[in-house]
Amino acid sequence: MERHFRWLLLSGAVLLVAMAVLRMTMPRGPVETAAPMPVLHEVGAFSVTNAAGVPFGLEDLGGRPWAVNLIFTRCPGPCAQLTGVMRSVQERLPAGSRAGLMTLTSDPEYDTPAVLRAYGSKFGADGSRWHFVTGTRAEIRRLAIERLLLVLQDIPEEERQSPDDLFLHSTAIVLLDGQGRWRGTMEGLEPGAAERVVEALRMLESEGRR
């Protein structure tokens, strides 16, 4: 009961923040005429490892916008659904778009590059666009919590509903521009999330062409 109450409080707080930011940052009107999304936070340098076992950091954003989320592969909760939303974003991006997707694991000890490769393959991830990343626990926590402003907490063993019920974490999708700046967040499990993320990525990509 205590665990569920804490989860409700966390979810409510995250949802309120997400709704406030969403109102500020969602594109309104056609991409060509919508007001720019504000720069809300500098993510700064980070160092993780992608599913190919190659270091991946701020310099690898390559001047293109990114949609970023947080899951773990043995998650008994909404992670598969959220990964499906990211797959839908990948499928909906227009031809010629350079926008990227990044999925962090909250379970780096288990989610090795090989495990992430297999998981990404199951969801049809295009490895040139969609990067699944792992690292040390400290690296992942720093990037997820301090840099991307996502919620990530361990569930105490006595409160777990199954052996794999390991983490409470955000289901938000964070939007970064090509300079690694935090430009907005959207709730990934809301209806129409994929379409809204694609529209926001198109808007951020159009900024780089101006």
In sequence order, what are the residues at sequence separation of 6 or more whose Cβ sits closer than 8 angstroms to the Cβ of residue 179?
Answer: 61, 63
Query: Residue 167's domain spans which residues?
Result: 2-208
The answer to whether residues 58 and 94 touch, using CB atoms and an 8 Å cutoff, is: no
Closest CA to 43 of 166, 185, 158, 154: 185
Half-sphere exposure of 58 (CA within 13 A, CB side): 12
Q: Could you tell me the pTM of the whole model?
A: 0.83
The whole-number pLDDT of residue 121 equals 98
Low-confidence ranges of the chain (pLDDT < 50): 1, 3-5, 7-8, 11, 15, 18-25, 28-33
pLDDT digits (tens, 9 = 90+) for 24-45: 445 544 444 456 788 988 999 9
Closest CA to 28 of 189, 187, 184: 184
**Assigned token pair, 39:** 């720069």
Q: Give me the sign of the Cα torsion angle 95, 64, 142, 140.
A: positive
The answer to whether residues 171 and 189 touch, using CB atoms and an 8 Å cutoff, is: yes
Closest CA to 123 of 111, 135, 131: 131
The whole-number pLDDT of residue 22 equals 47
Which CATH number belongs to the domain containing residue 173 in this structure? 3.40.30.10
Helix (H, G, I), strand (E, B) or coil at 37: coil
CA distance 37 to 46: 23
End-to-end CA distance of the chain: 52
Letter for the amino acid at 67? A
**Assigned token pair, 45:** 């340098």
The whole-number pLDDT of residue 35 equals 64
Domain total in the chain: 1
Q: DSSP secondary structure string, 70-88?
A: EE-TT-SSTHHHHHHHHHH
- Which helix (H) or strand (E) segment is 19 a member of? helix 2-25
The whole-number pLDDT of residue 162 equals 86
The whole-number pLDDT of residue 26 equals 52
